Structure 1
Amino acid sequence: MTNAAQIKETTVLDIEQVKKKQRIKSFIKGMAFLLPSIILFSVFLFYPMFRTIYLSFFLTKANGDPTVFVGLQNYITMFSSPIFLKSIKSTFLFVLYTVPASVIISLFLSIIANEKLKGIGFFRTMYSSTMGVSVAAASVFWLYLFNPSMGLLNQVLGTFGIEGIGWLTDPKWALISISITTIWMNVGFTFLILLGGLQSIDSSLYESADIEGAGYLYKLRRVTIPMLSPTMFFVITVTIINAFQSFGQIDILTQGGPINETNLIVYSIYREAFANYKFGSASAQAIVLFILILLMTALQFKLGERKVHYQ
């Protein structure tokens, strides 16, 4: 009995050792597959992030090298600056202007484009065409439209006897003008994603609703929107993040003006770092922007995901 127990114990230990070796081999194999991604993320994401956090506690030279440790002084100075506080306000207004409008317009267009009509493929291509336009090209296009003397928008207003608007020079209109440009650029992407979500809805749900005698609006409210909610959740989250990170159209159209009305946080970071050469202060602003995006995304997951209906 003693020998049998010893043999059984030895066998159990051998099996555990074999399993342990297999787990180690699996871990090494998995890390080998992940190694290229880990290297890329480390070089282009983790190192810049930790470097930014580090620089936010220092004053820096013009070349970005840290000089004097100032602790939280960059953050204190930043939040006591009326220009930065205005940047935060403008950024949230910009998000408020662009995100709902982009999603609603794209949803309307995707519902139309999802109908089985003759020649609808042409309109799908037209609606999604803004995806193929770069930010620079789109901004130059809108720069001509917003021109106070030659712009098409003011010419149209003039035909109705309405005085022209300083779209990019009037503080009341500058942020709205940038928002219009951004909405136009975002519609292509959001339209395409929502159209894909609509086409993935099971057609049997509509057939069942037709058998019950449901009308178009009822099917839209009770079938289409609930089934589209996961796609809507994704689109809203991505659009919010992109709105916080908007830069190109602001740099080309207004350069943060007039009177800092369009000086969004991203452009404020750029100007602080590459115009004023204050990399410590710019790094502090970048950390604040990261926290804002993180909080908005977490809030979206906390509140928005409750209304998502998964099939």
Structure 2
Amino acid sequence: MKADAASTPPKQFGLWRKSLNARTALLYLFPSILLFSVFIFYPMFRTIYLSFFLTDQQGAAALFVGFENYAYLFESREFRNSIKATVLFVLYTVPTGVIIALFLSLIANEKLKGIGFFRTVYSSTMGISVAASSVVWLFLFHPSIGMFNRLLNVMNLPGVQWLLDPDWALVSISISTIWMNIGFSFLILLGGLQNIDEYLYESAKIDGAGYWYQLRRITIPMLSPTLFFIITISLINAFQTFGQVDILTKGGPSQATNLIVYSIYREAFINYQFGTASAQAVFLFICILIVTILQFKLGEKKVHYQ
């Protein structure tokens, strides 16, 4: 073996070495590639394939219709309402959730006695499932025994049909979603704050800089990579929200909370129209892809990595 390697020209030996390294790398990557193929790539290509067909109740392709499923979606008033509800939901939840998480992380980053207790409380929503959280919020929003309406009654204000009024249902879902997601955002932002070098703040204090100047000129710029990550993840999660909608409102009332993911679920597993459901899924994928690309193109320019 050593004699063969010694007699091999350097150029051929280099190519042989690269080929061996590539095969070794593929061998190590094979389990991951297999899992991704089974659970991500195959379902994705299968969804794209089914979006061009009418299907039977078992989800098998029955009749090729080309882009008619997509044309039907954009002619459907129900789907247009779903897009509107999703966009409003994203606007309600993402900026508010990030701002609240940033505020809480700034408070929890202070070196105060007993601050660890509040860090635990602020991040505790991470340990609660969407189903359990939604049941709790279902009781809070109850029109007669819910805590929110009881508080309104104490203040001599009229009660609100939180989950039954089309004007309030999406806001109610947004409030519960912000609460559910705030623990994760808080924990990531707190970690980012604790990685900022204390020397920067000490230098700023020596120069006479106040808290707000430090926040604007040091904290936010140094935290921008973490904020960029949180905003990206929050946007993707907001577009994919399903559990709380299913438990709290089931897309109602009057389709006010019929977000795109819930619309896909209803179309596929209630109406058994897997072709149009697949077309909606492809549309959602394209929307998330475009939003993510725009965010990287426009938002990453303001990110400071050093």
TM-score (norm 1): 0.96
Aligned partner (choices 48, 52, 64) of residue 53 of structure 1: 48
Name stretches of at least 5 consecutive residues in structure 2 with no aligned partner: 1-5
User: Shift in Å at residue 12 of structure 1?
Assistant: 11
- Aligned to 1:175, the other structure's residue is in SS state helix
| Count of matched residue pairs | 301
CA deviation map 1:259-305 (0-9, x unaligned): 00000000000000000000001000000000000011011111110
Q: Which residue of 2 aligns with 1:138?
A: 133
Q: Which residue of 2 aligns with 1:7?
A: none
**Take 2:209 and 2:7, find their aligned partners in 1: how far apart are those partners?**
65
- Aligned to 1:172, the other structure's residue is in SS state helix
- Counting only pairs closer than 5 Å after superposition, residues 4-23 of structure 1 correspond to structure 2 as 14-23=9-18
Q: Which amino acid aligns with 2:266?
A: R
User: Shift in Å at residue 205 of structure 1?
Assistant: 0.4
Aligned partner (choices 81, 87, 99) of residue 86 of structure 1: 81
Q: Which residue of 2 aligns with 1:242?
A: 237
Q: Which residue of 2 aligns with 1:3?
A: none
- Aligned to 1:198, the other structure's residue is in SS state helix
Q: Which residue of 2 aligns with 1:5?
A: none
Aligned partner (choices 98, 115, 121) of residue 126 of structure 1: 121
User: Shift in Å at residue 68 of structure 1?
Assistant: 0.3
Aligned partner (choices 219, 228, 233) of residue 228 of structure 2: 233
Q: Which residue of 1 aligns with 2:64?
A: 69
**Take 2:101 and 2:217, find their aligned partners in 1: how far apart are those partners?**
19
Q: Which residue of 2 aligns with 1:295?
A: 290
Q: Which amino acid aligns with 1:60?
A: T
User: Shift in Å at residue 13 of structure 1?
Assistant: 7.5
User: Shift in Å at residue 20 of structure 1?
Assistant: 1.1
Q: Which amino acid aligns with 1:151?
A: G
Over 3 Å counting, the alpha-carbon distance change for 1:21 and 1:263 in structure 2 is same
Is 1:170 the counterpart of 2:165? The answer is yes
**Take 2:59 and 2:233, find their aligned partners in 1: how far apart are those partners?**
31
Q: Which amino acid aligns with 1:195?
A: L
Q: Which residue of 1 aligns with 2:207?
A: 212
Q: Which residue of 1 aligns with 2:107?
A: 112
- Aligned to 1:164, the other structure's residue is in SS state coil
Q: Which has the larger radius of gyration?
A: 1
- Aligned to 2:62, the other structure's residue is in SS state strand
Q: Which residue of 1 aligns with 2:153?
A: 158
**Take 1:266 and 1:91, find their aligned partners in 2: how far apart are those partners?**
9
**Take 2:271 and 2:242, find their aligned partners in 1: how far apart are those partners?**
18
CA deviation map 1:176-226 (0-9, x unaligned): 000000000011000000000000001110011011011111111110000
Name stretches of at least 5 consecutive residues in structure 1 with no aligned partner: 1-10
The runs of 4+ residues in structure 1 deviating greater than 2 Å are none
CA deviation map 1:35-89 (0-9, x unaligned): 1111000000000000000000000010101100000000000110000000000
**Take 2:77 and 2:154, find their aligned partners in 1: how far apart are those partners?**
41
Is 1:277 the counterpart of 2:272? The answer is yes
- Aligned to 2:220, the other structure's residue is in SS state helix
Q: CA RMSD in A?
A: 1.0
**Take 1:137 and 1:64, find their aligned partners in 2: how far apart are those partners?**
31
Query: Percent sequence identity over matched residues?
Result: 66
CA deviation map 1:210-256 (0-9, x unaligned): 11011111111110000000000000000000000000000000000
**Take 2:95 and 2:181, find their aligned partners in 1: how far apart are those partners?**
11
**Take 2:15 and 2:159, find their aligned partners in 1: how far apart are those partners?**
76
TM-score (norm 2): 0.97
